[in-house]
Structure formats: structure tokens, C-alpha cells
């Protein structure tokens, strides 16, 4: 697939790489997926993801620093939400692509198994 877009400046590439790196961990992806349904506090994210509170907090910090999530304080609680709406499309695009690849792989495995 060719792109007619010019290569972004190095500074922009650093930001883009940080954004993707922030999404490069399974637990962080679970957190983002949980937040697609709406804003949640740390306790809710612990329950939904099955992670430990300290670990969830560390991952939330990384996601906020990368601009993927925003943090809102209310009293003594912090609530997190998706900051960048492009995450919805990105998740849909990547998951859809992986579903197609897995379907092809599954089909190929079934064909190979029948030949044996």
C-alpha cells in the first residue's frame, strides 16, 4: 500500500513512536479496551482487567503521558478516559485486520489437517 504522505519531521516521529509504544503492552490494551465503554476509576479498572492496583496505576501513567488517556480528579478519586478519539478507529482497524489474518490461518490449518 503506497502512501502519498510526506515523512513527518523527526520530532513528530518521536511522538508517534511514543503513542504506539504506550499501546505496546497487553495490560495497557486491556485498560484502553475497558475505557472504550466510558470513563472509569482505578478500582473499576483493577476489577475489569484483573491487574494489581499498583501495576494498573503505573500503566495509566504511561498512557496519560503518551496522550492516549486523560485523567480527571474528583475528590480523592481519579477517573480515566480516552483522550484521543482516533483510538476507536485504530483499535477497530487493527482488530479487524487480525481477525482476517487469523481466519485465513485457521482455514489453512484445517486444509493442512485434512490432507494428513
What integer pLDDT is reported at residue 71 of this predicted model?
A: 97
pLDDT tens per residue across span 3-48 = 567 888 999 888 888 888 888 899 999 999 999 999 999 999 999 9
Q: Taking a C-beta distance cutoff of 8 angstroms, is the pair 41, 71 a contact?
A: no
Long-range interactions of 12-21: CB distance < 8 A, separation 24+: 18/66, 19/66, 19/67, 19/68, 21/66
- Residue 16 or residue 94, greater confidence: 16
pLDDT tens per residue across span 55-87 = 999 999 999 998 899 999 999 999 999 998 888
pTM to 2 decimals? Answer: 0.74
What integer pLDDT is reported at residue 103 of this predicted model?
A: 84
Q: What residue spans define the domains of the chain?
A: 8-84, 85-116
Give the class (CATH, top level) of 8-84.
mainly alpha
CB atoms within 10 A of CB 48: 16
What integer pLDDT is reported at residue 3 of this predicted model?
A: 58
Amino acid at each position: 500500500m503506497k502512501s502519498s504522505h510526506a515523512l513527518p519531521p523527526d520530532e513528530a516521529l518521536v511522538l508517534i513512536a511514543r503513542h504506539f509504544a504506550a499501546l505496546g503492552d497487553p495490560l495497557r490494551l486491556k485498560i484502553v479496551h475497558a475505557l472504550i465503554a466510558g470513563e472509569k476509576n482505578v478500582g473499576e479498572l483493577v476489577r475489569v482487567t484483573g491487574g494489581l492496583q499498583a501495576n494498573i496505576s503505573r500503566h495509566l501513567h504511561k498512557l496519560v503521558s503518551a496522550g492516549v488517556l486523560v485523567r480527571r480528579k474528583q475528590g480523592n478519586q481519579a477517573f480515566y478516559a480516552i483522550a484521543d478519539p482516533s483510538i476507536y478507529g485504530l483499535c477497530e482497524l487493527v482488530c479487524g485486520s487480525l481477525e482476517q489474518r487469523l481466519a485465513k490461518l485457521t482455514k489453512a490449518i484445517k486444509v493442512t489437517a485434512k490432507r494428513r
